[in-house]
Structure 1
Amino acid sequence: MKPKEEILDVLNNSVCTENYYKVSPIPGFPVITDGVLVLTEAADCYWLLDVIGSYQNNTKLDKNFQVWTLNVNTENNSAVIRGYNDTTLIVTQQIPCTDFPPEEVKLYLIDGVILLPSEY
């Protein structure tokens, strides 16, 4: 895993994308952008993509635009993942233990593509 500063640099400086990557053989599973690929490799957090992908059959989630946040509690290394339709909370999942370095990350899922806000 890369240091927190390098991961934050990825989050803040990834713009656009040249490629899309399929990270799961499951039909309908979202693809990811260059920035998300670098983030998942740097923070060793492919599990975060699995969580987001696992909720795509939820009929309450908008298939066109979703916002996903991961908030880490640094006191006990637990976390909460939340999925929104724009600003309406739809999904909340507790993560009992994580070593994800930043305290927060936000991802968008737009038309089947997971991307960083800076890539939007």
Structure 2
Amino acid sequence: MVEENELLATLKQFTGSEQFARLTRTVVLTEGARYLAETVECFWLFDLYASHLSGVDCNKDWFTCLKLTRTNRSASVSIEDGNDRVLAKQNIEYTDFPLPAITLYGCWAGEFWVLMLTSEY
């Protein structure tokens, strides 16, 4: 597993994406999001995000953000509209996610959601 400081430094280097990786029929990952998912084996986090996005009215809420906060080996996840309005919440009983917190963005691109690191927005 990669060290926290090394992971954070690497994630900051992602500032855009030339390629998307398909997660589901209606959700793609940027290069940085895919790097995170592969490096720390957290595809579950992006699956969680995607599952909650299926219920979001993309005409009204075209921008969302996922906020994960880890406490010991559990975590809480909230998906918001970017203005602190909570669209969904979920508790994770056990996780080995290496960071104490992370925020991800999801933007509706007309035909699919693009999930990305905050530095890629």
TM range (shorter): 0.7 to 0.9
Contact 1:109 1:115 survives alignment (8 Å): yes
Contact 1:36 1:114 survives alignment (8 Å): yes
Q: Specify which of 99, 102, 110 is matched with residue 105 of structure 1.
A: 102
Relative distance call for 1:20 and 1:59 in structure 2 (3 A) is closer
Tell me the secondary structure at the aligned position of residue 68 of structure 1.
Answer: strand
State the match for 1:69 in structure 2.
67
Letter matched to residue 81 of structure 2:
N
Deviations 1:48-105 (A, max 9, x none): 011011112224675510010111002xx10011000112112110000001011011
State the match for 1:117 in structure 2.
118
Contact 1:79 1:94 survives alignment (8 Å): yes
Q: CA deviation at 1:23?
A: 2.1
Please list every run of 5 or more consecutive structure 2 residues that lacks an aligned counterpart in the other structure: none
Letter matched to residue 94 of structure 1:
N
Q: Once superposed, which parts of structure 1, at least 4 consecutive aligned residues long, lie more than 6 Å away? A: none
State the match for 1:13 in structure 2.
13
Tell me how far apart the structure 1 counterparts of residues 22 and 57 of structure 2 sit (CA, whole Å).
24
The two structures have a TM-score, normalised by structure 1, of 0.87
Q: RMSD of aligned C-alpha atoms?
A: 1.6
State the match for 2:30 in structure 1.
33
Q: Where does 1:44-59 land on structure 2 (aligned, <5 Å)?
A: 44-59=41-56
Give aligned-pair identity as a percent: 28
Q: Specify which of 77, 80, 86 is matched with residue 76 of structure 2.
A: 80
Size of the aligned set, in residue pairs, is: 115
Tell me the secondary structure at the aligned position of residue 118 of structure 1.
Answer: helix
Contact 1:84 1:91 survives alignment (8 Å): yes
